[in-house]
Amino acid sequence: MVSIEFNKVTFSYQDGTEEPVFSDFDLSITAGEWVAIVGPSGSGKTTLLKLMKGLLQPQAGEIRINATVLAAGELNHLAACAFANPENQIVSPVVAEDVAFGLENMGLAPETIQVRVEEALRWVGLWERAAHFSHHLSGGEQQRLILAGALAQQKKCLLLDDPLCMVAGRSRTEILNLLKSIQAREPCTMVHTTHLLEEALLAERLVALENGTLVFDDSPGRFLQEKELVEQLGLEVPAIADLGEMLARRGLVEPGEVITLEQLLELLTVPGPKQDNEKE
């Protein structure tokens, strides 16, 4: 697994002539951690992932991957990456070939590639469309295709840039479930940026950015307690988390204990000692 450390990183676009996106930025991600990064549009989420991946180089400070200073493009063999705007990342006209492309670049045997392509496409629910034209897929399906490409690489680090940005409705739930199953199946270091609290609350750790500054770094449950900050960042609290807060106000759960559907279901299926309070 992969650890990622930012030490006093300063980065600005246009070879440093623009206003820095990050100044003296510190962040440390432990191997195997699942971190969600939230923040308004333009706060630096995508730039942060690109720095992690080595696609951009800081003008000052250093980025260490597994304690070694990262050189340009160096995380390529360790991390799989899926950025928002799928159309820029789909390289092949056929769905299955697009997933295979990344694996061919890794030099894998054709039989292994075949198995992994099928597995990844089934995982994201696109196997039936394996032979279809990639550009005939909807925006959400294209995003799932990019995700399949990253998953098929089975790397020790997964960097996902707003995986739900073009996905609505039922597909959204499917991708959220997919994120959960990734960690359950094969633990890896996972960092994903998102504009949706529903997605961020699934992670173990939530990092919030505002104008390139880290304004929060703790558990998702604690983040919800910071009501002013949540509002300031323009994030919408999911209905389940609201319900969890009502339960906490009545003393039925701890504050921040129930913020996801799983936690709510767990609470409902395990009859606990707090049943007496519920009759009030």
User: Does residue 29 come out as left (phi exceeding 0), alpha (psi in the -120 to 50 range) or beta?
Assistant: beta
> How many whole angstroms separate alpha carbon 134 and alpha carbon 95?
5
By CB under 5 A, the residues from 38 to 57 that bind Mg ion are 45-46
The residue assigned the tokens 């694996």 is 103
Mask 90-129, x = binds ligand ADP (CB under 6 A)? Answer: ----------------------------------------
122: CB partners within 8 A, 6+ apart: none
Asked if 134 touches Mg ion (CB under 5 A), the answer is no
* CB of 108 or CB of 167, closer to ligand ADP: 167
For residue 20, the 8-state DSSP code is P
| Smallest distance, ligand ADP to C-beta of residue 44, A | 4
| Smallest distance, ligand ADP to C-beta of residue 110, A | 37
Using CB under 6 A, which of 21, 160, 191, 240 touches ligand ADP?
21
* CB-based contact 254:225 (threshold 8 Å): no
Host H or E run for residue 226: none
> How many whole angstroms separate alpha carbon 82 and alpha carbon 52?
13
| Smallest distance, ligand ADP to C-beta of residue 263, A | 28
Asked if 256 touches ligand ADP (CB under 6 A), the answer is no
Binding site for ligand ADP (CB under 6 A): 13, 18, 21, 39, 41-47
Binding site for Mg ion (CB under 5 A): 45-46
